[in-house]
């Protein structure tokens, strides 16, 4: 134990090489220890050795060592904890984020189990102490009563004349004993209350730890999303640029494959983030006027090309009594419909996919119940699998993801989105005969139309409306800077794009040069996007009002709100859609 503590002190000051030398010299001793009493020391030895390898950048050896220690723990929570921590950090360092996340979940679950074990032991100890005190008080009262009865009997035998005096003495003694009992009981009650307050404090502390664990998970997913979206923006953007450069036929097939794979990966990332936000209760619903029929038409427009590629007929059937406008969240309705229609097209090889809408008024309320049905003539689902299709990461059959792709999150997310809108969702299907997915959502009636509904219309001629604008692109990633510059130059006639590698350079350029608009990355060295935006807004040379669009891979709601708080005018996530970006630029420049 003293040797391991000494080595840990060396690790704290970064002396990994010296620590490794001492650990390797002691390795044979720890590998030969077989008694259960030394289980903790053995497990701690291997977690310490794994930490040392990790500090030296030898992630493979760190993983092998930690897995050995984890195997020796044999279910022991304290022995497993340190080795699980080494495993998730090592896989994270290798870039294997899936395994890193799996071991991170095991690490936090083990921490929770240790806390629960300690709480259970403490509760048991308090209950036993309470029982002991109660028994002790009862024994004291019983003993006092017995002594009193013996005293009365003895005095009666000695002198009958002293009976009255003895009775009075006995009553006084009993009163004293009862007083002492009441005092003892009062002290015990106060002590029990103090123990209960301490227990409540511990429960509150564990609740805070659980919330911190959930926050850590949320931050982990946000960081992973940002780290994946940043290179994804370069991959997707450069692929689109090459596709516009009239590639050779053989190159075209490869580029289309890269684009399709990038889009699939982006869908998976968005699904995981949506599930994280739903589980954390951070989904905020809009309540705006919108047209349900227009949302359905938007979904049909988006999925029409995919259906035609497979030779499918994609049709809609909307009842004539559908209200023109309702109050609700068009974005979440669009997301649910897109998931269901996308699944229907994916699992249908021939035939028809139909989007159906029927509406009916809710009695005694100013609401309309919208009944949706997405049906297909695809592979169908067996009766034995129907109850699992809405569960997280579940698919109807084990070979579904291998044959058709996907994570199994789409239906789970759709179910949760419908339910938080006070609706319900269910399915009917027969194996080999197709499926029908039903969901119903209540909406308030609205007589006020909004300018846009859910999905913006396609952009018009940007080359004419944005011709010769001057753009400052603030981006520290060289590849993403190339993508943004090339996309803008391909889309806008005579556009002039200047690049700044960080916020300090951006503020300097704005101070001495005129720009029409700024595209601002957020996470940058030297000065980040938030600080740069605040510095620009503080300029006194009349340039503080230049429009700024945040263009970042961090798409979590909290980060978007930080962009607006810093003074940015709009936001677009990476990988970005050039039409969406140009639409936002035109809106801010007043050239729509």
CA-CA distance, 23 to 15, in Å (whole number)? 13
- Mean pLDDT value across the chain: 82
Burial tier of 281 (Cβ tally within 10 Å: 0-12, 13-18, 19+): exposed
CA-CA distance, 586 to 573, in Å (whole number)? 17
All structural domains of the chain with their residue ranges: 2-95, 288-445, 462-589
Do strands 424-430 and 434-445 pair parallel, antiparallel, or not at all (unpaired)? antiparallel
pLDDT band at 528 (very low <50, low <70, confident <90, very high): very high
pLDDT in tens, 472-504: 999 999 999 999 999 999 889 899 999 999 999
Residues, the chain: 592
Peptide bond preceding 300 in cis form (omega within 30 of 0): no
CA-CA distance, 431 to 98, in Å (whole number)? 33
pLDDT in tens, 45-85: 888 888 888 888 888 988 988 888 888 877 778 778 888 88
CA-CA distance, 73 to 19, in Å (whole number)? 23
pLDDT of the residue at 100: 86
- In terms of CATH, what superfamily is 2-95? Tetratricopeptide repeat domain (1.25.40.10)
Rounded mean pLDDT, 13-20: 75
Rounded mean pLDDT, 195-219: 79
pLDDT at 12 over 60: no
Residue scoring higher pLDDT (225 or 205): 205
Rounded mean pLDDT, 542-552: 90
CA-CA distance, 107 to 220, in Å (whole number)? 14
pLDDT band at 314 (very low <50, low <70, confident <90, very high): very high
Please check whether residue 188 is in contact with residue 138, taking contact to mean a CB–CB distance below 8 angstroms: no
Please check whether residue 475 is in contact with residue 499, taking contact to mean a CB–CB distance below 8 angstroms: yes
Do strands 326-328 and 288-290 pair parallel, antiparallel, or not at all (unpaired)? antiparallel
Instruction: State whether residue 227 is helix, strand or coil.
Output: helix
| DSSP code string of 143-207 | HHHHHHHHHHHHHHHH-GGGHHHHHHHHHHHHHHHHHHHHHHHHHHHHHHHHHHHHHHHHHHHHH
Burial tier of 127 (Cβ tally within 10 Å: 0-12, 13-18, 19+): exposed
Q: Max Cα separation, the chain?
A: 129
pLDDT in tens, 269-288: 776 776 666 766 667 788 89
pLDDT of the residue at 590: 84
Please check whether residue 86 is in contact with residue 54, taking contact to mean a CB–CB distance below 8 angstroms: yes
What the block records as the tokens of 390 is 């809405």
Please check whether residue 259 is in contact with residue 240, taking contact to mean a CB–CB distance below 8 angstroms: yes
What the block records as the tokens of 268 is 């998976």
Cα 175 to Cα 144, 171, 178: the distances in Å are 11, 6, 5
Please check whether residue 548 is in contact with residue 533, taking contact to mean a CB–CB distance below 8 angstroms: yes
pLDDT in tens, 381-407: 877 677 778 876 545 444 444 444 455
Rounded mean pLDDT, 329-349: 91
Residue scoring higher pLDDT (50 or 229): 50
pLDDT in tens, 17-52: 877 877 887 777 777 765 555 676 778 788 888 888
Q: Is 246 left (phi over 0), alpha (psi -120 to 50) or beta?
A: left
pLDDT at 511 over 80: yes
Please check whether residue 368 is in contact with residue 406, taking contact to mean a CB–CB distance below 8 angstroms: no
CA-CA distance, 457 to 571, in Å (whole number)? 18
482-486: long-range contacts, CB 8 A cutoff, minimum separation 24: 482/234, 482/238, 483/233, 483/234, 483/237, 483/238, 483/241, 484/237, 484/519, 484/551, 484/576, 486/237, 486/238, 486/241
pLDDT in tens, 242-273: 888 888 888 887 887 787 777 767 777 776 77
DSSP summary character for residue 466: T
Its CATH architecture, for the domain 288-445, is: 2-Layer Sandwich (3.30)
CA-CA distance, 504 to 532, in Å (whole number)? 7
Q: What percent of the chain has pLDDT over 70?
A: 86
pLDDT at 513 over 50: yes
pLDDT at 13 over 60: no
CA-CA distance, 128 to 124, in Å (whole number)? 6
Least confident of 19-23, 546-550, 568-572: 19-23
Percentages of the chain per state (helix, strand, coil), in multiples of 5: 65, 15, 25
Residue scoring higher pLDDT (260 or 460): 260
pLDDT band at 459 (very low <50, low <70, confident <90, very high): very low
CA-CA distance, 554 to 225, in Å (whole number)? 7
Match domain 462-589 to its CATH number in 3.30.2020.10, 3.40.50.970, 3.40.50.2300, 3.40.50.720.
3.40.50.2300
């Amino acid at each position: 134990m003293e040797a391991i503590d000494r080595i840990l002190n060396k690790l704290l000051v970064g002396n990994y090489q010296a620590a490794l030398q001492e650990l390797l010299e002691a390795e044979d001793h720890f590998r030969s220890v077989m008694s259960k009493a030394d289980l903790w020391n053995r497990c701690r030895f291997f977690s310490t050795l794994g930490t040392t390898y990790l500090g030296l950048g030898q992630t493979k050896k760190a993983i092998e060592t930690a897995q050995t220690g984890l195997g020796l723990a044999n279910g022991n929570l304290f022995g497993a904890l340190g080795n699980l921590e080494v495993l998730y950090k090592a896989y994270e360092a290798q870039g294997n984020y899936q395994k890193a996340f799996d071991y991170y979940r095991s690490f936090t679950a083990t921490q929770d189990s240790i806390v629960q074990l300690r709480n259970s032991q403490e509760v048991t100890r308090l209950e036993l102490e309470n029982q002991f005190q109660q028994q002790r008080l009862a024994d004291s009262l019983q003993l006092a009563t017995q002594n009193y009865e013996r005293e009365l009997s003895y005095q009666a035998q000695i002198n009958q004349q002293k009976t009255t005096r003895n009775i009075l003495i006995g009553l006084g003694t009993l009163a004293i004993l009862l007083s002492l009992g009441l005092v003892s009981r009062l002290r015990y009650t106060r002590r029990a209350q103090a123990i209960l307050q301490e227990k409540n404090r511990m429960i509150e502390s564990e609740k805070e730890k659980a919330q911190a664990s959930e926050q850590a998970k949320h931050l982990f997913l946000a960081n992973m999303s940002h780290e994946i979206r940043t290179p994804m923006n370069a991959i997707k953007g450069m692929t689109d640029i090459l596709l516009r450069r009239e590639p050779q036929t053989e190159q075209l097939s490869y580029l289309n494959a890269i684009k399709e794979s990038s889009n699939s990966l982006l869908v998976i990332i968005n699904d995981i983030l949506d599930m994280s936000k739903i589980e954390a209760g951070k989904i905020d619903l809009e309540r705006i006027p919108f047209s349900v029929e227009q949302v359905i038409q938007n979904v049909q427009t988006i999925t029409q090309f995919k259906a035609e590629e497979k030779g499918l007929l994609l049709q809609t059937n909307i009842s004539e009594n559908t209200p023109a406008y309702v109050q609700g969240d068009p974005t979440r309705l669009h997301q649910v419909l897109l998931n269901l229609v996308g699944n229907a097209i994916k699992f249908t090889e021939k035939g028809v996919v139909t989007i159906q809408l029927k509406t009916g008024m809710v009695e005694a309320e100013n609401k309309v119940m919208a009944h949706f049905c997405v049906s297909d003539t695809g592979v169908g689902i067996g009766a034995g699998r129907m109850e699992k299709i809405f569960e997280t990461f579940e698919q109807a059959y084990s070979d579904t993801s291998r044959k058709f792709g996907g994570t199994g999150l789409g239906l789970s997310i759709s179910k949760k989105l419908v339910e938080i809108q006070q609706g319900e969702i269910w399915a009917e299907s027969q194996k080999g005969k197709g499926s029908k997915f039903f969901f119903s959502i209540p909406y308030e009636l609205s007589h006020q139309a909004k300018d846009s509904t859910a999905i913006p219309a396609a952009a018009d001629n940007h080359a004419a409306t944005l011709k010769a604008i001057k753009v400052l692109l603030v981006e520290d990633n060289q590849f993403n800077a190339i993508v943004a510059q090339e996309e803008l130059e391909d889309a806008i006639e005579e556009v002039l794009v200047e690049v700044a590698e960080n916020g300090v350079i951006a503020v300097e350029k704005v101070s001495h040069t005129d720009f029409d608009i700024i595209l601002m990355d957020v996470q940058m060295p030297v000065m980040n996007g938030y600080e740069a935006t605040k510095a620009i807004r503080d300029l006194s040379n009349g340039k503080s009002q230049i429009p700024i669009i945040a263009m970042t891979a961090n798409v979590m709601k909290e980060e978007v709100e930080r962009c607006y708080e810093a003074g940015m005018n709009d936001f677009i996530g990476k990988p970005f859609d050039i039409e969406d970006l140009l639409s936002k630029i035109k809106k801010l420049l007043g050239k729509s």
